[in-house]
Structure 1
Amino acid sequence: MDEELFHRHSGGAANRADGDDIQLDADAPKAIFEPSTGGSATEAIVSLVAQENGCAPLELDPLYDAVDPEALDSICTATPDSSLRLSFDYAGYTVLVDASGIVQLVPADD
């Protein structure tokens, strides 16, 4: 997983618009969720970001300011075995989501 590239998607303000690829860092924070058994990508994202920021999840800005949480969870649940990958900025990170069940954080470019 750490050697794969995540493609940044353009189109929305929450998505990276420069079209570059992101190479993952083996040391970057990551979380696993199980989409095939109802695991939630959004819960994994919020928990991981809160952990990295040393705060409670409710202290973070709402995730829906960056991405539609219901749509994200639906996509990951509907396509758990796909090679679908997406990214968006949230709380100072570029959040990388692999529909197979991996979330990874990369510090967002300033």
Structure 2
Amino acid sequence: MTAQSEGWGRSRIDYDEGAESYHVACEDSELASTNVVLSISALKGVGPTDLPPLAETVNPDALDRLFSPSAEVEGSVSFEYAGYDVTVNSDGRLEIVPERDAVRRKQQRN
């Protein structure tokens, strides 16, 4: 199974060259945890099951509850997963930065 075979492909991912990051807009009906895994699998060109379990990094159920459509939360959660820095925003957007770019960005800020 690949992200593309699920009807979820790289076409949903935009790259912001200036920010050196990928952005994914998620639908209210989609789970944040699923979008993280499918986005990373599409970027890597592998199937979702080829990635490490998301639960080794963050609690997927808590992530889904925190960013469910009925949750009235503003903010974001950031974590590292499968070679990327991932930020899940309360408005349903994902920001995904390859770790090599994230390290460089952090060094430039300091």
Q: TM-score range by the shorter chain?
A: 0.5 to 0.7
| Amino acid in the other structure paired with 2:74 | S
Letter aligned with residue 26 of structure 2: F
Secondary structure at the counterpart of residue 52 of structure 2? coil
Percent identity between the two aligned chains:
29
TM-score by length of 2: 0.67
Partner residue in 2 for 1:7:
none
- Counterpart position of 1:107: 98
Provide the C-alpha distance between the structure 2 equivalents of 1:92 and 1:44, rounded to a whole number of angstroms: 16
Of structures 1 and 2, the larger Rg is shown by 2
Distance 2:46 2:27 in 1: 24
Corresponding residue for 1:90? 81
Residues matched between the structures, number: 83
Is residue 64 of structure 2 the alignment partner of residue 64 of structure 1?
no
Secondary structure, in 3 states, of the residue corresponding to 1:29? strand
Q: 1:28 aligns with which of 21, 46, 53?
A: 21
1:8-31 deviation digits (Å, cap 9, x = unpaired): xxxxxxxxxxxxxxxx82x52222
TM-score (norm 1): 0.67
Unmatched tracts of structure 1, length 5 or more: 1-23
Q: How does 1:35-74 map to 2 (within 5 A)?
A: 35=28, 38-74=29-65
Structure 2 CA distance, aligned partners of 1:51 and 1:104? 14
TM-fit CA distance, 1:107: 1.7
Match of 1:79 among 71, 78, 82: 71
SS state of the match for residue 63, structure 2?
A: helix
Runs of 4+ residues over 2 Å off in structure 1:
none
CA deviation after TM superposition for structure 1 residue 83, in Å: 2.6
> When you count helix as a share of all residues, which structure comes out higher?
2
